Amino acid sequence: MAGNTFGTLFKITTFGESHGEALGVVIDGCPPQLKLDIAAVQHELNRRKPGQSALTTSRSEAEKVEILSGVFEGITTGAPLTMLVRNTNQRSQDYDTLKEVFRPSHADYTYIQKYGIRDHRGSGRASARETVARVMAGAVAKQVLNQYQIQIRGYVNRVATIAIQKPYTELDLTKTELNAMRCPDEEVAKEMMDLVAAVKEAGDSVGGTIACVVTGVPAGWGEPVFDKLHAELGKAMLSINACKGFEIGSGFEGTRLKGSEHNDAFVSNGGKITTQTNHSGGVQGGISNGADLYFQCAFKPVSSIAVSQATINTSGEPVTLETKGRHDPCVLPRAVPIVEAMAAIVLVDLMFRAKASNAVNLI
């Protein structure tokens, strides 16, 4: 199976399945002499793990990180850094009835068409549980970025039709972790949680959007033409399970403006070049311009629902499906750390590539 590796100089390869022994990641290009904060890696895993609130799946996993290589006496050596999390709470029997059924909007049919075989237990490699590996890698990437005061903050800004109406510049993003929805607007978060609770009670699911703000990125990161900063971010985000859309800066809304309204005028602020507005989302010509990076990701409703659905089995016969197992009614709260992790991986990779280009004024 190809397509399990992401990045150029800071490169990650993930492995494992939802109901296998473990999931893990190998980071090739992790810089040496980084004092690896294992507690910080565990913290990020805890933000992603199941069973953390009434809004998530009830699957209970400790998500305890293990380091297999690349660290000596708490310091990274420059060798491939390998981390894993063991699966301890699989209930594979919940999926026995799905062995011969194609679930709507899942990878069942497409995996059979591509490989001629599939792991029906929790979708195997296609499961969102694969993102455990990404979060571990992202936690390491965040520690690299922290050395340069670069911060990544994701938050839920819409669930179905319930949305934050304020721009991110008017929000206190330090409040994001104060509620189970990971929404920094307390009143909107309450509405969102009420909706998710009602959807969960009905055995259904709901989607929405996650916004992400990155501060501290200097001008000059990104590789035109095909490896533009926003293109790399877009690929990273769209590789996340259930992510169906990506936009940066003004995104689709920017198409409603005239060029005279949308252009970000340059100004000199105390000798530092900046822009009056940030419709570009911090990226121009595929390269960071020093402004905040701002992007949004759209996540579909979770495909595994308890509501009866019509589908077919592997013999092409019509059947009625009632999905069992433990599933999230809304993926958004647990997807926030995944979005942040993928952003961190992209940025560290592009930082290393910027350094390699010998450009001036780069970190």
Q: How confident is the model over 88-115, as a mean pLDDT?
A: 84
Q: What per-residue confidence (pLDDT) applies to 59?
A: 60
The per-residue pLDDT for 361 is 55
Q: Which pair of tokens denotes residue 64?
A: 């305890």
Q: Is the model more confident about 97 or about 269?
A: 269
Q: What is the mean pLDDT of residues 32-55?
A: 93
Query: Quick one: residue 85, left, alpha or beta (phi over 0 = left, psi -120 to 50 = alpha)?
Result: beta
Of the CA atoms within 13 Å of residue 276, those in its CB half-sphere come to 7
Q: Is the pLDDT of residue 67 over 80?
A: yes
Tokens in use for 148?
Answer: 């340069």
Query: What would the pLDDT profile of 266-303 be if each residue is shown by its tens digit?
Result: 999 888 999 999 999 999 999 999 999 999 999 999 99
Confidence of residue 94 (pLDDT cuts 50, 70, 90): low
User: What average pLDDT does range 347-363 have in this prediction?
Assistant: 81
Domain limits, the chain: 5-356
State what percent of residues in the chain have pLDDT above 70. 95
Return the structure tokens found at 243: 């992510």
pLDDT in tens, 121-155: 878 899 999 999 999 999 999 999 999 999 999 99
Of the candidates 33, 38, 42, the one whose C-alpha atom is nearest the C-alpha of residue 76 is 33
pLDDT of residue 1: 84
More confident residue, 60 or 276: 276
pLDDT at 301: 97
Average the pLDDT over 307-326 and give the result.
89
Query: Residue 327 pLDDT > 90, yes or no?
Result: no
User: Average pLDDT for residues 73-82, to the nearest whole number?
Assistant: 98
- The one-letter code for the residue type at 272 is K
pLDDT at 91: 63
Q: Give pLDDT tens digits for 187-244.
A: 999 999 999 999 999 999 999 999 999 999 999 999 999 999 999 999 999 999 999 9
Q: What does the chain come to in residues?
A: 363
Grade residue 93 by pLDDT with cuts at 50, 70 and 90. low
Displacement of CA 199 from its chain's centroid (Å):
23
pLDDT the model gives residue 257? 97
pLDDT at position 208, please? 98
Classify burial at 262, counting beta carbons within 10 Å of its beta carbon; exposed 0-12, middle 13-18, buried 19 or more. middle
CATH number assigned to the domain covering 5-356:
3.60.150.10
